[in-house]
């Protein structure tokens, strides 16, 4: 057995000497150090994630205010990285209700990875709104051993979630959005666009409709959130006798 090993090693070293980068030897060393991983294992590790599917019903008219106008938006899963978030923004960011969904998605991604989440918050918010969001998200989503943290915050906005079932939503993840019933759209010189006053439904609060203001700034391809503080304050806890614990989102 030792003779076979040394013969193979000698052959590869000779091949390496005839190549500029010694790739044959490098390949052999890599194979030995990895324990001889199979091609099937490598292919599985590099397998791309499934595409994020989106659905919507109804729609918010961004030109003419109609109090209480409703829309729903659904996604099949949460993006895993910034690149996937950008792809999702291409699908959802051109509508006001899609922008609201993206805000929740960015929050969830922050809870998983602060650096990734912060980039997504930047992509979906106006420049002046980003600092206020970033000041509060660590308090509600990521601080260790802090009773104020509510890791299930985003799930409370998705259909099917409740304190009694551990805030575990149904799939696909669906939100309900409506226009403010009293606050009409406003033209803003400072934001260079019309501010739309929207509300998104959550089972995590005694007051279930949470405000979210969005704007499509002049020259921008997408709607951006310009104010949404009520979306990221402490929500209800999971009931102590809930049928199951919070399992997280896919």
Model confidence pLDDT, tens digit, residues 115-124: 999 999 999 9
Neighbours of 28 (CB within 10 A): 17
Q: How open is the CA angle 226-176-246, to the nearest 5 degrees?
A: 95
Give alpha helix (H) positions in 93-176: 96-112, 114-124, 130-137
pTM: 0.81
* Chain segment 37-85, per-residue pLDDT in tens: 445 444 444 456 789 999 999 999 999 999 999 999 999 999 999 999 9
Q: How many CA atoms lie within 13 A of 189 on its CB side?
A: 0
CB burial string 174-185: b at 16+ within 10 A, e below: bbbbbbbeebeb
Measured at the CA of 102, the angle between CA 215 and CA 78, to 5 degrees, comes to: 175
Crossing angle of helices 23-33 and 2-18, rounded to 10°: 140
Domain ranges of the chain: 2-45, 54-232
Among candidate residues 23, 25, 74, 24, the one with its CA nearest the CA of residue 52: 74
């Amino acid at each position: 057995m030792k003779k076979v090993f040394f013969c193979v090693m000698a052959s590869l070293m000779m091949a390496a000497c005839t190549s500029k980068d010694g790739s044959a030897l490098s390949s052999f060393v890599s194979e030995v150090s990895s324990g001889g991983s199979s091609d099937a294992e490598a292919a599985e590790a590099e397998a791309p994630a499934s595409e994020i599917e989106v659905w919507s019903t109804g729609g918010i008219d961004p030109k003419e205010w109609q109090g209480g106008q409703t829309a729903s938006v659904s996604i099949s899963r949460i993006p895993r990285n910034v690149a996937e978030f950008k792809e999702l923004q291409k699908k959802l960011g051109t509508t006001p209700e899609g922008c609201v969904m993206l805000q929740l998605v960015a929050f969830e991604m922050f809870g998983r990875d602060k650096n990734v989440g912060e980039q997504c918050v930047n992509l979906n918010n106006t420049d002046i709104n980003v600092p206020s969001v970033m000041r509060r998200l660590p308090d509600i989503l990521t601080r260790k051993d802090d009773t104020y943290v509510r890791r299930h915050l985003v799930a409370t906005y998705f259909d099917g979630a409740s304190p009694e079932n551990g805030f575990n939503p149904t799939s696909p993840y669906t939100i309900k959005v409506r226009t403010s019933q009293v606050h009409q759209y406003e033209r803003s010189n400072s934001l260079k666009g019309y501010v739309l006053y929207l509300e998104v439904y959550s089972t995590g609060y005694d007051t279930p409709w949470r405000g979210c203001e969005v704007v499509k700034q002049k020259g921008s391809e997408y709607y951006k959130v310009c104010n949404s503080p009520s979306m990221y304050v402490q929500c209800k806890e999971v009931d102590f006798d809930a049928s199951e614990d919070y399992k997280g989102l896919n």
